[in-house]
Amino acid sequence: MDEIDRLSEFLQRLTPLSRSCLLSELERLELCGIDMPGSADVQSRLRAEFRKDGSTQARATSPSRYFFAPLELLLIDGAPEHANMGRISRNTLTPIWEWICRDLLPTMARDYIKAISDQVAANNPKEVSKIAATFQTKVVKVLESTFASAESTEFARAKLAQYTASRSAFDDVRKMQHVLRAGDALPKFDEKLPAKIARFDDGQVAKITAQLDAFKKAHPEALPFALTLVARRLATSWQLVSLATKAAASKSPADVAAAPYACVVPMVLDRLDDKRLALRIALRHNRVLVARDLLTEIYDTEYALKVRIDGIENSEWGTRLQQLMDAIAALVSAEVSRFPSNVGHILGSRRLRSHDTLGGKLTYLAWKGRDAMQDGAAAFRKLIGQT
């Protein structure tokens, strides 16, 4: 028996859920930059089984798909290890589902799977939604009991670790709990948002802030997910920072950090880290044009953060931003160095930094002038209020 036959035999001994979990785990390791010999062949075989439509998303079984449906708009395909406030890694869903079915609620999960399967076969979508919502409520209640003590929390964490080596999978369980506990509040909030926000100007910021204020009052733990839904409507992710800077007394890091929605700044940095990971993968697969577009977005985000927050370099946000940009610079340098010095590389082009052009510098001066006027007006109003 050759190696390929032995591999096929091994994979077939696993349950479909375990094979799906294995695929998610191998993809997670790849996203983390960990190379495993033979991983490509295993992934290819598993994708042929679970992703026959060519999708980049794991095809979950129907019962789990209905259970996780409320999370759909919040899922990302990035590595679970890196920070993603308000979002959940798709790669953790399979191990979380296996943990729910085998350890958290095995009997109820079996009943749920049978009930869902019967109603799907009967083409009864209303009953399917009702059964899924009931099981979601049961899971939330059990999680609340599980997290009530440090001992039961650690026991649950250890059990989940049997299905994935991801250090952040348990954090995704907590995120899932917050989303499911919010019920239909997030879908209703999502419906009220504009389909697209082309310009996130003062009027739009004020309108969205009012909607967020109302949501936060009722569901404070689910606020990061509401912010994620807002981010989906924006033309660029860095525009999210306006929710913090518009409400701040000034553009200094301290004042922005004191603003009601200061958490959007680390969220933007999370998305910058997403682009770093995507850039690394694009370069690994020689997708230079994809890498170019990613690098342009990265430079634009860096520039926007430095313009919107004066002296960000001297804050914790600035430290993280610099670390990310250093890592990105190392990726670009390694790619450019593969070519002779007399051969220009598209990733080394100054045009990728549009703010270094004359038009970009004029825009910078315009922003700074407007910010100075706004800061002056805010200081004057504060002075009037004090007197």
Q: If you average pLDDT over residues 220-248, what whole number do you get?
A: 95
Structure tokens at 285: 């697969």
Q: What are the residues whose beta carbons fall under 8 Å from the beta carbon of 89, sequence distance 6 or more?
A: 28, 75, 76, 77, 78, 79, 80, 166, 168, 169, 172
Dump pLDDT digits (tens) for 5-15. Answer: 666 677 777 77
Angular region, 173: left φ>0, alpha ψ -120 to 50, beta rest: alpha
> Do residues 43 and 26 make contact, with C-beta atoms less than 8 angstroms apart?
yes
pLDDT band at 250 (very low <50, low <70, confident <90, very high): very high
What is the distance between the alpha carbons of residues 36 and 306, in angstroms, rounded to a whole number?
39
What is the distance between the alpha carbons of residues 241 and 100, in angstroms, rounded to a whole number?
37
Question: What pLDDT does 341 receive?
Answer: 58
From residue 313, alpha-carbon distances to 53, 93, 321 in Å are 46, 37, 8
The 3 state secondary structure assigned to 84-110 is CCCCEEHHHHHHHHHHHHHHHCHHHHH
Sign (positive/negative) of CA torsion 299, 300, 306, 312? negative
Is 127 exposed, middle or buried (CB count within 10 Å of its CB: 0-12, 13-18, 19+)?
middle
> Do residues 222 and 256 make contact, with C-beta atoms less than 8 angstroms apart?
no
**Residue carrying the six token digits 């990302």:** 76
Task: Compare 20 and 149 and report the one with higher pLDDT.
Answer: 149
What is the distance between the alpha carbons of residues 143 and 337, in angstroms, rounded to a whole number?
51
> Do residues 293 and 284 make contact, with C-beta atoms less than 8 angstroms apart?
no
For residue 339, the SS3 value is coil
Is the pLDDT at 33 greater than 80, yes or no?
no
Q: What is the largest CA-CA distance in the chain?
A: 89
Question: What pLDDT does 182 receive?
Answer: 95
Question: What pLDDT does 53 receive?
Answer: 43
Q: If you average pLDDT over residues 212-222, what whole number do you get?
A: 96
DSSP letter at 149 equals S
If residue 81 lies in a helix (H) or strand (E), which one and from where to where?
none
Dump pLDDT digits (tens) for 146-204. Answer: 999 999 999 999 999 998 878 888 999 999 999 999 999 999 999 999 999 989 999 99
Dump pLDDT digits (tens) for 89-106. Answer: 888 898 899 999 999 999
Dump pLDDT digits (tens) for 294-346. Answer: 999 999 999 999 999 999 999 999 999 999 999 999 998 888 777 655 445 56
Is the pLDDT at 360 greater than 70, yes or no?
no
Neighbouring-strand partners of residue 234: 197
Question: Which of 160, 162, 115 has the alpha carbon at shortest distance from 134?
Answer: 115
**Please, which contacts does 377-384 make with residues 24 or more away whose CB atoms are closer than 8 Å?**
378/249, 378/250, 379/250, 382/249
CA 255 to centroid of chain Cα atoms: 26
> Do residues 131 and 119 make contact, with C-beta atoms less than 8 angstroms apart?
yes
Is the pLDDT at 379 greater than 70, yes or no?
no
Is the pLDDT at 205 greater than 50, yes or no?
yes
Dump pLDDT digits (tens) for 60-83. Answer: 458 999 999 999 999 987 665 666
Mean per-residue pLDDT over the chain, rounded: 83
Question: What pLDDT does 155 receive?
Answer: 95
Picking from 200-214, 256-270, 367-381, which range would have the lowest pLDDT averaged per residue? 367-381
For residue 234, the SS3 value is strand
pLDDT band at 59 (very low <50, low <70, confident <90, very high): very low
Picking from 27-36, 155-164, 239-248, which range would have the lowest pLDDT averaged per residue? 27-36
pLDDT band at 42 (very low <50, low <70, confident <90, very high): confident
Q: If you average pLDDT over residues 118-131, what whole number do you get?
A: 94
Question: What pLDDT does 334 receive?
Answer: 84
